Amino acid sequence: MAREGLPFLAVCAVLVAAALLWARDGGWGARSATPAGLAVLALFVAWFFRDPERRAPDGAGVVVSPADGKVMSVEAVDGEDFMAGTATRVTIFLSIFDVHVQRAPLGGRVRHYSYRGGRYLPAWRPEAGSINEQATLGIETEAGPVVVRQIAGLVARRIVTYPREGGSVAAGDRIGLIRFGSRVDLFVPPEWAVAVQRGEAVRGGETVVARVAG
């Protein structure tokens, strides 16, 4: 379980305990059903913040998915932040049922980090990538720069990013988490071969989404 979920789980546990005390002498009805409902909520919170172990595939030059979810689009765009020129953007939508821990797509050194507040439009809307709350991580790899952008969605209200400028990451390392529904954009150099297409399901840290050129 991701550590960010522990405060939520603790609150649920307190609510369940309080509901049990309240329902202890209440007989059948709403008082007896409330603890069960809160227990289900606690189980959902624990499940939502699950953080399964993942192993990046072997092989040089493979770029793994930074998130669980479904590929919304693959398209050429202008370079982002410390990426000059153009880039290929792979957009992944995370539903509330997906694992919400993000992972490094490739090993390298973190050269850029920025956070920007914003709105909370549904993450699947195209304009969400430019106006929603977001955090951007730029990684310089041996093969070239990549950018991972965490974008909050309609329900998400908190983006957590672990690495900072000057740190290093390995492919598949945990790099952050977005709470309750979101989107992740991956930017890679245009000459890299993308290995996924729109509508495809991907798993963070495991699914190969691109391969470096050469």
Is residue 81 within 8 Å of 89, Cβ to Cβ?
Answer: no
73 is a catalytic site residue: no
Q: Which amino acid is at 4?
A: E
Q: Is 182 left (phi over 0), alpha (psi -120 to 50) or beta?
A: beta
Sheet holding 69-78, edge to edge: 168-169, 108-116, 134-141, 144-152, 182-188, 86-94, 69-78, 201-202
State whether residue 182 is helix, strand or coil: strand
Rounded to the nearest 10 degrees, the angle between the axes of helix 6-23 and helix 30-48 is 170
C-alpha to C-alpha distance for 52 and 2, rounded to whole angstroms? 9
Pairing relationship of beta strands 62-64 and 208-211 according to DSSP bridges:
antiparallel
Tokens (6 digits) for 165: 């400028």
Positions annotated as catalytic residues are 182
